[in-house]
Amino acid sequence: MKNREIADMFEAIADMLELLGGNAFRVNSYRKASRVIGDLTDDVADLAEAGRLQKLPGIGASTAKKIVEYIETGTMERYEKLAAEVPEGVIEMMHVPGVGPKTAGLVYKEAGIHSVTGLAEAIEAGQLTDLPGLGPKKLENILKGVAVYLAGQERVLLGRALPVAEEIAEAMRKVRGVREVLPAGSLRRRRETVGDIDILVASTEGKAVVEAFVGLRQVRDVLAAGETKGSVRVEGGLQVDCRVVPPECFGAAAQYFTGSKAHNVRLREIAIARKLKLNEYGVFRGDEPVAGETEEEVYAALGLPWIPPELREDRGEIEAAQAGELPELVELDDIQGDLHLHSTWSDGGASIEQMAEACRALGYHYLCVTDHSQSLTIAGGLGPEQLARQREEIDELNKTLEGFRILAGCEVDILGDGSLDLPDDVLAGLDFVIASIHTGMTQSTDRITRRIVAATEHPHVHAIAHPTGRIIGQREPYAIDFEALVRAAADTGTALEINAYVERLDLNAVHARAARDAGVRLVINTDAHAPDQLAMMRFGVATARRGWGAKEDVLNALPLKKLLAVLKRKHA
DNA sequence: GCCGTTTTCGGCCCGACTGTTTTCAGTCG
């Protein structure tokens, strides 16, 4: 699958064209094409073969031709020509905060600088002071930017950022003069990682609110503190911005600061078509404000229903909203139970009883114990006899629990050859079987796809756990043919998991969307190894929502009776 | 380079901030 390569090439073409002073709209077209191809789960080669490339938004005759060229020949002339002209390091300089295409182009053309480190050295040696537009402050600023860039400026996991944001938001709600507080930005859209935290505050007293913000006990460094905006770093280096807006603009500001950028651009285009103007202060006809106090009225002024933040990525949500076809997204309250968790029988930290109590406290009606299977000795995997004894314990516990049911299950390993780690008759006796890969993760696309597809075809496997194996920032997904997996899951009635573990979120949002579009049932599980980890369910639900998942798409949003009926069907 | 409820040509998102200027270019979100 060459989607990623092609998306990256279009992005690089955009960067290089921009640096060379090419038409800005053309640059934008390449960026859009890059995003569209990058978001695709279908193989772009299949679309090309079917002659359907130009059906994609932002893909016209010219980019379609380049895609076909790359698929057929393995190279793209446009890209190669530009790459011969612009050294890679010059493009990299553009990614330093404070350095854009103009500055990178200038220092390259006028001073021959072609790397980020070369840029820093030249500034420190005082070599760039004669260049137009580069005064001492600008140069100092670039130097700081290089330090930030080289430090890696990593994005932070949603699971880490969200609690920080909520704590700060809670503290800000207690500040005098504050009417409303909303953590906005990519965090509100529940992206799996976030770059920084944006806290939006409605108040008429900007300065006092900002002062209170930078004085919060969580604050370690104050980066800026003005009339309407404060910027700080908290423990761990995470940057938090606070913006104060008047209450009558709060809705427009919330919309604006939630993004995504691509979504906002589309909204502004719609505004223009309606002879309106949209900015962070409201919707305007001429100078006349038409909307702004709530997000609902901002969207309504553009002829749209309110769109849930998780969908705001310009991935078709605006068209769906216009057609009145937005999905009714699954909510945390819809979740009836957790179907993938561990106990002290394998590598968990709590007894089944403790896990059950924790699940009841969350308002669930059932859980399924899915300890590891025998070959995973390092995790204390269970064999047939242990599973039988575990079942006895579960049966005893179920006698004492009212209105709650513990299901007996297993996270069975998919072995290297695609067979399962437990005999069929043992699996047949379990309520729920979720299969997963813990070894041979680096196998070829062909092998690993056959392995997982074989597991979906197994009559006793109800779901595949963490289907791509990726761990955010640590491990790439398996080289699996995802389309083939989705087809197999759809054909066999096997659910695919959204593993809610904050480092996993696997399936991710784009994969989850493709699965649900193909009619595959999703199952959202925490894979908890201790009671407190059950709370990660919210991140799995957020990912399902980003994947356009509705309650009906989610296996464990079913009430117990219906769930058991569905599980039985696969067994039979 | 894309695209069509004013268009197959001529448009294409908006405002703030900063540092460099003397009216504005570049960068950012």
SS3 sequence of A256-292: HHHCCHHHHHHHHHHHHHCCCEEECCEEEECCEEEEC
Q: Is the CB of A239 under 7 A from strand B?
A: no
> Which nucleotide C1' is nearest A228 CA?
B16
Helix (H) or strand (E) holding A25: helix A24-39
Q: Is the CB of A34 under 7 A from strand B?
A: no
Q: Is the CB of A286 under 7 A from strand B?
A: no
**Residue–nucleotide distance: A261 CA to B7 C1' (Å):** 26
**Residue–nucleotide distance: A46 CA to B4 C1' (Å):** 28
Report the interhelical angle of A250-258 vs A261-273 (nearest 10°): 130
Q: Which of residues 293-332 of A touch strand B (CB under 7 A)?
A: none
C-alpha to C-alpha distance for A375 and A382, rounded to whole angstroms: 8
Q: Is the CB of A228 under 7 A from strand B?
A: yes
Task: State the average pLDDT over residues A120-131.
Answer: 87
Across the beta sheet with A229-234, what order do the strands follow? A180-183, A197-202, A239-245, A229-234, A219-225
Q: Which of residues 333-352 of A touch strand B (CB under 7 A)?
A: none
* pLDDT class of A412 with cuts at 50, 70, 90: very high
pLDDT at A428: 94
Task: State the average pLDDT over residues A559-570.
Answer: 93
> Which nucleotide C1' is nearest A269 CA?
B13
Helix (H) or strand (E) holding A366: strand A366-369
For residue A376, pLDDT beyond 60: yes
pLDDT at A195: 85
Task: State the average pLDDT over residues A350-369.
Answer: 96
C-alpha to C-alpha distance for A346 and A166, rounded to whole angstroms: 34
Task: State the average pLDDT over residues A416-424.
Answer: 91
Mapped onto helix, strand or coil, the DSSP state of residue A387 is helix
pLDDT at A420: 94
Tracing tokens 């959204």 back to the chain, one arrives at A498
Q: Is the CB of A135 under 7 A from strand B?
A: yes
CB A335 within 8 A of CB A364: yes
For residue A247, pLDDT beyond 70: yes
> Which nucleotide C1' is nearest A17 CA?
B1
Please give the DSSP secondary-structure letter assigned to residue A521.
P
Q: Exposed, middle or buried, A214 (CB in 10 Å: 0-12/13-18/19+)?
A: middle
Q: Is the CB of A98 under 7 A from strand B?
A: yes
Report the interhelical angle of A24-39 vs A61-73 (nearest 10°): 60
Residue A304's Cα: distance from chain center in Å?
25
> Which nucleotide C1' is nearest A28 CA?
B1
C-alpha to C-alpha distance for A542 and A501, rounded to whole angstroms: 12
CB A3 within 8 A of CB A37: yes
CATH number of A332-571: 3.20.20.140
* pLDDT class of A254 with cuts at 50, 70, 90: very high
- The full 3-state SS of A137-181, as one line of letters, equals HHHHHHHHHHHHHHCCCCCEEHHHHHHHHHHHHHHHHCCCCCCEE
A539-548 pLDDT tens trace = 999 999 999 9
CB neighbours of A469 closer than 8 A, spacing ≥ 6? A437, A441, A475, A477, A478, A506
**Residue–nucleotide distance: A319 CA to B18 C1' (Å):** 38
What distances in angstroms separate CA A159 from CA A44, A87, A259, A533, one per listed residue?
32, 38, 20, 11
Q: Which of residues 39-58 of A touch strand B (CB under 7 A)?
A: 54, 57-58
C-alpha to C-alpha distance for A494 and A545, rounded to whole angstroms: 20
Domain A156-245 indexed as CATH 3.30.460.10: yes
Which of A293, A315, A317 is closest to A304 using CA atoms? A317
Nucleotides of B under 7 A from a protein CB: 1-3, 5-6, 11-15, 17-21, 25-29
Which of A376, A381, A490 is closest to A437 using CA atoms? A376
> Which nucleotide C1' is nearest A271 CA?
B13
Bond preceding residue A420 cis, omega within 30 of 0: no
C-alpha to C-alpha distance for A81 and A19, rounded to whole angstroms: 14
Q: Which of residues 392-451 of A touch strand B (CB under 7 A)?
A: none
**Residue–nucleotide distance: A286 CA to B23 C1' (Å):** 26
For residue A304, pLDDT beyond 70: yes
> Domain residue spans in chain A?
3-153, 156-245, 260-322, 332-571
CB A547 within 8 A of CB A516: yes
Q: Which residues, listed in sequence order, are joined to residue A183 by a DSSP beta bridge?
A: A199
Q: Is the CB of A19 under 7 A from strand B?
A: no
Which of A312, A310, A313, A289 is closest to A301 using CA atoms? A289
**Residue–nucleotide distance: A270 CA to B8 C1' (Å):** 21
Bond preceding residue A34 cis, omega within 30 of 0: no
**Residue–nucleotide distance: A502 CA to B27 C1' (Å):** 33
pLDDT at A152: 62
Q: What spatial distance separates the first Cα and last Cα of chain A, rounded to whole Å?
A: 36
What distances in angstroms separate CA A54 from CA A33, A76, A266, A567, one per listed residue?
11, 18, 19, 41
| A156-245 shares the fold of A3-153 | no
Q: Is the CB of A263 under 7 A from strand B?
A: no
Enter the tokens of residue A418: 């695609």
Task: State the average pLDDT over residues A163-174.
Answer: 93
- Topology annotation, domain A3-153: DNA polymerase; domain 1 (1.10.150)
pLDDT at A370: 96
Q: Is the CB of A36 under 7 A from strand B?
A: no
Residue A102's Cα: distance from chain center in Å?
32
CB neighbours of A502 closer than 8 A, spacing ≥ 6? A157, A158, A159, A160, A472, A536, A539
For residue A439, pLDDT beyond 60: yes
Tell me how crowded residue A295 is: count the other CB atoms within 10 A of its CB: 21
Which of A460, A444, A448 is closest to A412 using CA atoms? A460
Q: Which of residues 102-121 of A touch strand B (CB under 7 A)?
A: 102-104
**Residue–nucleotide distance: A540 CA to B4 C1' (Å):** 40
Which of A256, A326, A267, A327 is closest to A302 using CA atoms? A267
Q: Secondary structure of chain A: what % helix, strand, coil (to 5)?
A: 50, 15, 35
Q: Out of A127-131, A247-251, A476-480, give the one with best mean pLDDT.
A: A247-251
Q: Which of residues 55-84 of A touch strand B (CB under 7 A)?
A: 57-64, 78
pLDDT at A219: 87
A188/A232: higher pLDDT: A188
pTM of the model: 0.84
CA-based radius of gyration for chain A: 26
* pLDDT class of A295 with cuts at 50, 70, 90: very high
CB A542 within 8 A of CB A310: yes
For residue A352, pLDDT beyond 80: yes
**Residue–nucleotide distance: A51 CA to B23 C1' (Å):** 51
CB A470 within 8 A of CB A442: no
CB A341 within 8 A of CB A556: no
For residue A464, pLDDT beyond 90: yes
φ, ψ dihedrals at A74, nearest 5°: 80, 0
* pLDDT class of A146 with cuts at 50, 70, 90: confident
Percent of chain A whose pLDDT exceeds 90:
64
Q: Which residues, listed in sequence order, are joined to residue A180 by a DSSP beta bridge?
A: A202
- To which CATH superfamily is domain A260-322 assigned? DNA polymerase, thumb domain (3.30.210.10)
Which of A353-367, A375-389, A415-429, A449-463 is the least confident region?
Answer: A375-389
**Residue–nucleotide distance: A265 CA to B29 C1' (Å):** 12
Q: How many CA atoms lie within 13 A of A162 on its CB side?
A: 17
A314-335 pLDDT tens trace = 999 999 999 999 999 999 999 9
Give the E-state strand segments of A370-513 in sequence order: 405-413, 432-436, 463-464, 495-499
Q: Is the CB of A97 under 7 A from strand B?
A: yes
> Which nucleotide C1' is nearest A63 CA?
B1
Protein residue closest to B19, using CA and C1': A138
